[in-house]
Chains A and B, each alone.
Chain A
């Protein structure tokens, strides 16, 4: 899925976008795309391009998200919602093992996830960057995760380059966007009359061949450059990264932690919407159905967890992070500093989700600015 250099762009007329969905379905993919649901655009199954958020864009601010008409005939103008690729590879709840008694012993069997071929359209550059961060964690360590691997190899990714950003985006600072440069099978740029299409993998080229494409006009390519450059240049939020991770390690006792700790609700929303957070809990659950004569069968499951949960650092008789400010510090220091030591990459791709979906509007870029100021 990676490696191959994107081929020269071709042009797909707006009226032919449905053909892309069909080409993917013909290859056995279940197709997911951005769809408006309960006031937000999330990924869900799409059968027709009519389900895409036509003529809509969103306004995002700390603690706020609102869909509004953009007065144009677009389908990909809503940049990112609360949903990312994460649940498709790192499932919110995964059955890991099935365990049954066998006399006084037991038998444990790996449960292979039922992972259908999945195509996701409308993936943003920051989402691709986040996926590659998760790949490092789940696939490239000493103990590759079989469950993630099974889901990951079924993905077909159709990226959409961002020609506008939300006020909460800071992908330019994190060097992850707004243009998708790798990790996709196909990448689209939406324009007035249609889409510029590039393939990023052999599979992408194969699907491309099933589409009624024409060579991209020079003017369209030039306009694409301008729109991507404008998007990057006008991005409002910024995060200084040159002195990371050191600046955080130097400021572990900064008074700002107490300040933000008094505002943070420790709800964990930021970690749930974050496309890179990987924390999870593991536990045994009885398998429903009648116990056979040997005894009760059970499954071992894992579920998303969050360092904002009180029990995250709890051991018998002691909680290593008893205060909310301890937990906020863990989150921010992990995202922007220790992640780099652990995985050679930042844990933040600049998608801004944690800012938008924080019920009290805490903004990590703002917190970082304050942490750089000498403490009172």
Chain B
């Protein structure tokens, strides 16, 4: 029995880099090995470990459509490894291994209304899922997207929200804590918008991603209005080093966020999620 290391990265060339402000870039990547793409067949919500040779590895959601050949990663520049990624562009090669983790319940949500609640900058894991549903518009009912940011400049992808807003049977609610003159949407924290969301609990699925405190309030509000816990899905973030359930860093109680998550059905994590310091 020879076991191959599960940690070997696959080289992928950056074909295109698009920037959303100074510190967020979307990289479109082509795997160099001709036979590698099928191994990266993924569901929106899953992630890859993106490797910078000699520097380090970071967990990044796949933001492209599963049926496109190229893989896209939208990366926010924050620390040691992502700062090196910041300096890379077309022609440079990164390593990828994956895809890992669970995806959004895009099959289960078919023919249902979908409410998406996101907050802060960390909504990369869900934008791919929203695009996925709009590209297969007939498969989904009413789509409601609620997104809150601290300050207007945190709203990346504004044109994407505007595009979604123009689609049929779709509603987009944007809010910021600190509106400026140019801001035309709502102001206040995202939780204040929950009362405005109209939904029929019997045929709605809720997808959420963002700060845990925001998800906590969203759950309280929407569950209070009849939405069942097993219709609520959330994306959880924890430190990740290995992504294969071995390094122990991503634990949340019994869950390894890297393999049991990052997308969880609320019923599974309910009693752990909002315990401080877990």
Contact = CB atoms under 8 A, between A and B. Distances in A.
B271 interface: yes
A338 interface: yes
Given A316-B79, A342-B256, A307 B246 contact: no
Contacts of A141: 244-246
Contact of B244 (A142, A307, A317): A142
A312 B246 CA distance: 14
Contacts of A108: 8-9, 53, 95
Nearest to A339: B254
A105 B11 contact: yes
Contact of A284 (B54, B245, B277): B54
B226 interface: no
Contact of A106 (B53, B78, B246): B53
Given A326-B278, A341-B254, A296 B54 contact: yes
A281 to B, nearest CB: 6
Nearest to A302: B247
B132 to A, nearest CB: 25
Contact of B277 (A144, A302, A312, A322): A322
Contact of B248 (A96, A144, A279): A279
Interface in B226-262: 237-239, 241-242, 244-249, 251, 253-254, 256, 259
Interface extent on B, as a size class?
A: 35 or more
A112 to B, nearest CB: 9
Interface in B14-69: 32, 53-57
Interface string A1-20: 00000000000000000000
Contacts of A284: 53-56
Contacts of B11: 105-106
A97 B7 contact: yes
A296 B1 CA distance: 34
B55 A106 contact: no
Interface string A102-124: 00111010100000000000000
B248 A305 contact: yes
Interface stretch (A213-221, A228-236, A329-337): A329-337
B252 to A, nearest CB: 8
A262 to B, nearest CB: 15
Nearest to A321: B277
Contacts of A104: 13, 91-93
B275 interface: yes
B168 to A, nearest CB: 38
Contact of B251 (A110, A281, A334): A334
Contact of B3 (A146, A312, A313, A323): A146
B87 interface: no
Nearest to B93: A105
Interface extent on A, as a size class?
A: 35 or more
Contacts of A280: 241-242, 246-248
B107 interface: no
A315 interface: yes
A54 B259 CA distance: 49
A256 B242 CA distance: 33
A138 B3 CA distance: 11
B4 interface: yes
A144 to B, nearest CB: 5
B222 to A, nearest CB: 24
Contacts of A325: 277
A99 interface: yes
Contacts of A249: 253, 271
A298 B54 contact: yes
Interface in A297-317: 298, 300, 302, 305, 307, 311-317
A99 B7 CA distance: 12
Interface in A76-112: 96-97, 99, 101, 104-106, 108, 110
Given A108-B53, A279-B248, A253 B275 contact: yes
A305 B2 CA distance: 27
Given A143-B245, A320-B278, A330-B278, A101 B53 contact: yes
A138 B246 contact: yes
Given A104-B91, A144-B3, 5 more contacts: A106-B95, A141-B245, A252-B278, A307-B251, A325-B277
Interface of B: 1-9, 11, 13, 32, 53-57, 78-79, 91-93, 95, 237-239, 241-242, 244-249, 251, 253-254, 256, 259, 271, 275-278
> Which 5 pairs across A and B sit closest by C-beta, in order of nearness?
A326-B277, A279-B248, A341-B254, A338-B254, A143-B244
15 contacts: A99-B54, A105-B32, A106-B53, A110-B7, A145-B3, A145-B6, A252-B275, A282-B57, A302-B247, A305-B248, A314-B239, A316-B79, A320-B278, A330-B278, A338-B253
